[in-house]
Amino acid sequence: MTVTSHVLDASTGQPAAGVPVRLDRLDRQRRDGGGWSTLAEGSTDGDGRLRDWVPEGAVRPGVHRLAFGTGRWFAARRQATFYPEVVVVFEVVDGAEHVHVPLLLSPFAYSTYRGS
């Protein structure tokens, strides 16, 4: 099972290189009543993509989230943004499937969808 992403700066039409991203899994079995566990952290490459960043076997059926560090990315460009972080929560049903979550980003809007 793999999770990939692609971040595009919709205001420039260019890939968003260097966006920090974290993949978490909701763990309802934890003794403390549940919570999020980090599975992987990375940054988008020069083409705005995250590939081969999740350890083999880390993702299994359940609820996951991708947290994109958009505030840090915009700050590095000296650009204001309304969204300091974009969080996308999704559910994996089949542990063998490939999940691709693209993010179209601008300083005051974002959009995401289930990619292929």
Beta strands 2-9 and 49-50 are antiparallel
pLDDT of res. 46:
97
For each of the domains in the chain, give its residue range(s) and CATH number, in order of start.
2-112 (2.60.40.180)
Do 8 and 15 meet the contact criterion of CB atoms below 8 Å apart?
yes
pLDDT digits (tens, 9 = 90+) for 100-115: 999 999 999 999 999 9
Whole-number Å distance between alpha carbons of 45 and 26 = 26
- Span 25-38, average pLDDT: 78
- Span 54-67, average pLDDT: 90
Partnered with residue 51 across adjacent β-strands are: none
Do 100 and 62 meet the contact criterion of CB atoms below 8 Å apart?
no
- Span 35-55, average pLDDT: 94
